[in-house]
Amino acid sequence: MNNFIAFGLPFYGCGTVVKGFGRGSKDLGIPTANLCKEVIDQLPEQMIPGVYFGWAQVDKSPVYKMVMSIGWNPFFKNKEKSMEIHILNKFEEDFYGSKLKVIVTGYIRQELDFSSVDELIQTINSDIDIAKTKLDDSTNQSYSNDKFFGLH
């Protein structure tokens, strides 16, 4: 399946990092940066709820690989749609209020419900491994240097 056609990709988004539910770091050990509602409202209709991958930049930082969940997180039964980005880099501090730019280049899977937190964590770690591999592909790698990130 061609991800670019089927899911409205690539998607370029930019917005402010807002406080999320506080579960990523505390409950899961997988911190996420949540984008504001304005960015979520700009998502193309083809971007169905699920897990995606691509590139992210916080303010003027380097560009990092990322994996992202879009949707309602059935395990936690969210009432509001969210866009939660796990950047594949260890940050020493939170960056609420920072500008986050993302280029979403691929789709991994649909949203799922889980029978336990451990099953959720295991699946997220599998998603991260898939994202790392796919982002090493030359087509996806080229987006890490996109002028959108202001590196040129």
139: tokens are 């087509």
Q: Which long-range contacts (CB under 8 A, 24 or more apart) does 72-76 make?
A: 72/111, 73/111, 74/111, 74/112, 74/113, 75/112, 75/113, 75/114, 75/117, 75/120, 76/21, 76/23
Contact criterion met (CB below 8 Å) for 35 and 56:
no
Q: Is 38 a catalytic residue?
A: no
5-55 tens-digit pLDDT: 567 899 999 999 998 766 555 567 888 899 988 998 988 888 999 999 999
Residue 108 domain-assigned?
yes
Say how many CA atoms lie within 13 Å of 134 toward its Cβ. Answer: 18
Residue 48 domain-assigned?
yes
Residue 22 domain-assigned?
yes
Global confidence as pTM: 0.89
28: tokens are 């899961």
Q: How many domains does the chain have?
A: 1
The rounded mean pLDDT for the chain is 87
pLDDT at 82: 85
Look up the domain containing 87 and give its range.
3-141
Q: Cα–Cα distances in Å, from 98 out to 13, 14, 107, 132, 139? A: 14, 10, 25, 24, 28
Amino acid at position 101, single letter: K
Which member of 38, 45, 80, 84 is catalytic? 84
Residue 91 domain-assigned?
yes
Residue 150 domain-assigned?
no
Amino acid at position 29, single letter: G
pLDDT-based confidence at residue 122 (cuts at 50, 70, 90): very high
Residue 146 domain-assigned?
no
Residue 46 domain-assigned?
yes
Residue 28: CATH number of its domain: 2.40.30.30
pLDDT-based confidence at residue 62 (cuts at 50, 70, 90): very high
Residues 6 or more apart from 23 whose CB is under 8 A from it? 76
Contact criterion met (CB below 8 Å) for 32 and 93:
no
In the three-class reduction of DSSP (H, G, I as helix; E, B as strand; rest coil), residue 39 is classed as: helix
Residue 149 domain-assigned?
no
pLDDT at 56: 98
More confident residue, 117 or 130: 130
